[in-house]
Amino acid sequence: MTKVQKFFAYLILIIASLLSVFPLYYMIAGATNKSVDFMRGRMTLGTYLIENYKSLISQQNLGRAMFNSFRNALILTAISMLVCSLAGYAFEVYHDKGKDILMTVLLIAMMLPFVAIMIPLFKMFSTWHMVNNYWAFILPSISTPFLIMMFRQAARSFPTDIIEASRIDGLSELGIFFRMFVPTMKSTYGAAITVTFMNAWNNYMWPKIIFQGDNQTTMPMLVANLLGAYTVDYGMLMLGVLICTLPTAIIFFFLQKSFTNGIVGAVK
CB contact set of 190 (below 8 Å; sequence gap of 6+): 255, 257, 258, 259, 261, 262
**Rounded distance between C-alpha atoms, residue 91 and residue 150, angstroms:** 11
CA-wise closest residue to 267 among 199, 193, 188, 203: 188
CB count in 10 Å sphere of residue 214: 12
pLDDT in the model for residue 259: 75
Q: Is the pTM of this model over 0.75?
A: yes
Half-sphere exposure at residue 47, Cβ-oriented, CA atoms within 13 angstroms: 0
CA-wise closest residue to 137 among 202, 189, 81, 194: 202
**Rounded distance between C-alpha atoms, residue 40 and residue 65, angstroms:** 30
pLDDT in the model for residue 229: 62
pLDDT in the model for residue 247: 92
pLDDT in the model for residue 186: 87
Cα 56 vs. chain centroid, distance in angstroms?
A: 25
Dihedrals phi, psi of 132, to nearest 5 degrees: 70, 25
For the chain, which residues score pLDDT lower than 70?
A: 229, 263-268
pLDDT in the model for residue 268: 45
- The percentage of residues in the chain with a pLDDT greater than 70, rounded to a whole number, is 97
pLDDT in the model for residue 265: 58
pLDDT in the model for residue 244: 93
pLDDT in the model for residue 264: 67
pLDDT in the model for residue 221: 93
**Rounded distance between C-alpha atoms, residue 208 and residue 218, angstroms:** 9
Query: What are the boundaries of each domain within the chain?
Result: 53-233+247-267
53-233+247-267 CATH pick, 3.10.180.10, 3.40.50.1580, 3.40.50.10580, 1.10.3720.10: 1.10.3720.10
Determine contact, residues 146/192, Cβ cutoff 8 Å.
no
Cα 42 vs. chain centroid, distance in angstroms?
A: 32
pLDDT in the model for residue 100: 80
